[in-house]
Amino acid sequence: MKKQIVIATLCLAAVVPVFAQEQILNIYSARHYPTDEALYSNFTRTTGIKINRVDADDAGIVARLKAEGSSSPADIILLVDATRLWRGEIEGLFLPIRSKLLEDAIPLQLRGKATPTGETPWFGLSTRARVIVYDKARIKREDVDTYEELGDPKNKGKLCIRSGSHPYNLSLFGSVTEHLGEVQAEQWLKGMVANMARSPKGGDTDQIKGVASGECGIAVTNTYYLARIMRSNAADDQAIVDRIGVVFPNQASWGTHINIAGGAVARNAKNVTHAIRFLEYLASPGAQHHFANGNNEWPAAKGVKIDNAALQAMTASGFKSETIPISVVGMNQIKVQQMLDRVGFK
């Protein structure tokens, strides 16, 4: 009797269907933009791959990856600063990959350094320029059309800027250091400290508002913060737009500093195939248009036309961007931080 029961049980087990394992993608993201929710939900809807996301800033993500080591559940890393991407690359936090789609779509200068066997550690997915805004009622455009003039005595008491140690500024300062050399760059930073209208505080939007209120004469911002205000229908925001001008600096020399938001497959990813598919999705025309219209960033992929009126208005006649290697900017950051400490740039 016992034997018959065992046989019956085995036969029953044989006809029970085996359900497919749930498809998962774990993302560590420094992109804290609410508009990106549509990107994630659309990817899940079209692929069936569920996304689990951990949000933190760039430094927090890098620190977490180091602490977790090989036990990290992360599959995808999304960062919003070029030198953080470079840092992740040299510290071995990314898994270099091959993807013809990504290699065809993303320009060489917007990628990490390829390995000897041709794999790429990370890909830029969107770009933003670091520009100067100024009070049109008080400041002449020609007095702020270069980064160097931010530290010129003629602009004493006029500058508003966020913390010098913020990644956006560290990248800009690392770039300027490469162009000017360390000695001149430190004098430039010292000049900026002398020119400040107030101590560094707040984000880029606060700097723009400081110019519009008359507290500052000039400020530094990433373009997507400015574009948000330009696209707003609020009366207060339109008043800001009417008050300020924008300059893409150094058009007669090395060009305007460009920063990158990008993505990589985590070194210890468990879902590599899904991760590559997700990066390819972010490089697709649909996702690239979302970066432009959802968060006012320029697409990184080649040949993608945008219809964002604010971005178009800022660059109606085009602009020259710098071509300095990201690795050089990254390597300059230790020097920059030491210079900031010496000149008292908080």
Looking at the structure of the chain, the number of domains it has is 2
In the predicted model, residues of the chain with pLDDT beneath 50 are 1-20
Asked whether residue 252 falls in the same domain as residue 146, the answer is: yes
pLDDT of residue 74: 98
Q: Per-residue pLDDT tens for 90-119?
A: 999 999 999 999 999 999 989 999 999 999
Asked whether residue 338 falls in the same domain as residue 189, the answer is: yes
Asked whether residue 242 falls in the same domain as residue 214, the answer is: yes
Asked whether residue 251 falls in the same domain as residue 276, the answer is: no
Asked whether residue 44 falls in the same domain as residue 159, the answer is: no
Exposure letters 240-264 (e unless 16+ CB within 10 A, then b): bbebbbbbbbbeeebbbbbbbbbbb
Asked whether residue 235 falls in the same domain as residue 271, the answer is: no
Asked whether residue 163 falls in the same domain as residue 228, the answer is: yes
Q: Which CA distances in Å does 19 have to 15, 22, 23? A: 12, 9, 12
| Structural domain boundaries, residue 118 | 24-126+258-309
Asked whether residue 303 falls in the same domain as residue 286, the answer is: yes
pLDDT of residue 15: 38
17 assigned to some structural domain: no
pLDDT of residue 21: 55
Q: Which CA distances in Å does 15 have to 3, 6, 11, 12, 22? A: 19, 15, 7, 6, 21
Asked whether residue 193 falls in the same domain as residue 326, the answer is: yes
The pTM assigned to this predicted structure is 0.88
Exposure letters 270-284 (e unless 16+ CB within 10 A, then b): ebeebbbbbbbbbbe
Q: What is the CATH number of the domain that holds 301?
A: 3.40.190.10
Asked whether residue 136 falls in the same domain as residue 205, the answer is: yes
Asked whether residue 253 falls in the same domain as residue 300, the answer is: no
Asked whether residue 99 falls in the same domain as residue 143, the answer is: no
7 assigned to some structural domain: no
